[in-house]
Every structure is written in C-alpha cells, then in structure tokens.
Copies of this chain bind each other. A is one copy, B any other.
Amino acid sequence: MKKSLGTKSLLYPTPVLVVGTYDKAGKANAMTVAWGGIVCSQPPCVGVSLRKATYTYGNILERKAFTVCISSEKYVKEVDYFGVASGKKEDKFAVTGLTPVRSDCVDAPYIEEFPFVLECELLHTIEIGFHTQFIGEIKDVKAEESIVDEKGLVDVEKFRPLLYTPEIRKYYGVGKFLGKAFSMGKDI
C-alpha cells in the first residue's frame, strides 16, 4: 500500500558532487551538491542545480566554467564540510588542507585528492525556481590511475564513491554488485 508523502524533492540515492570554481579574485572554492547528474551524452553534459545565495552561483556566472569532483569514502567529512560552509566567509581549501589544482582545459579548479573529475564549460543556465540549473559541457574527464583499469575503464570498487540520501541526510558507500546492465534483462 502506497502512502502520499506530499510534494517534495526526493530521490534515492543521489551522487555526491563537489563543484569547483574560482571567484573573481581567483580564490578556489568547492561546494557539495546533491542535485545534479549527466544530462546529455553528445555533447557530453552535466547539470548541477544551485541556489542563487551560494558563492558558487556567482563564481560560475563570472568564470563560465566549473568542475564536478567526486570523492572516495576517505574524504566524506571534508565533502560534508564543503556543503555546510560558505566560500563567502571561509577559504574551504585552507580549512580542509585539500589541494586545488587549476584545470588544464577550463577556468576552474579541481580537488587533487578526489579521484574523479569532470571539467566543464558553462553551456546553459536554466532558471527553474529556487534552484538554477547550470549545464556544463564536459571538456575532459580525469581520474586517478589507481581507479582506472588497463582498458581505461573506471573500477568503481576501487574508486568507492559516496552516495547520499536526501531528507534523512545520510552518506552511504556503494554496496554489493547486483548484475550487469543491458544484459540481465534480456532473459525476460
């Protein structure tokens, strides 16, 4: 029996995306967002939804670029800090001790310690309501060699990315392997 929970923005699970930007003065900032994901394969694009009040919002409009960095389980505390603190008041890289690296293809920094990054140029700005969706064209994907196999594919069991559950506000790891996609459904 299903029960109505009302009109809410809920979905399980979400990825945990850390958006890297520079401000006008060139200070690197990082902000954790749960509302985001791939929105197009060709051109490859990722969307992240931000409130106007965030520091990152202004930085993206200023620089027309951002990165999307994905952490391993190791830095879950730092990831949470990036979502709690504001770049208006704090230098988040100084506080965490993590390292901003200038992207070689877009005007934005990524986080050295995080194993996976999408480097994006701003393509579309979609006003929806409380959140604005920034759609960035992915100009390069970079990953730590330690999580990439000999075929150039990401090994998610080595990567160990985080996931998030909204409203109940919890982080989880990736769990057990359940099956191959585009494969197991063919038996039906």
Contacts and interface: CB of A to CB of B under 8 A. Distances in A.
Interface of A: 1-15, 17, 34-47, 49, 68, 70, 73, 76-85, 95-96, 116-118, 123-124, 126, 128-131, 133, 135, 138-145, 148, 152-156, 159, 161-188
Contact of A181 (B11, B83, B126): B83
A42 to B, nearest CB: 4
A164 to B, nearest CB: 6
A3 B142 contact: yes
A185 B12 contact: no
Contacts of A176: 172-173, 175
A183 B80 contact: yes
Contacts of A169: 180-183
Contacts of A135: 126, 128
A57 to B, nearest CB: 14
B138 A3 contact: no
Given A80-B184, A80-B185, A82-B185, 12 more contacts: A4-B141, A7-B141, A9-B40, A40-B129, A42-B129, A76-B179, A77-B179, A77-B184, A77-B187, A77-B188, A81-B185, A154-B167
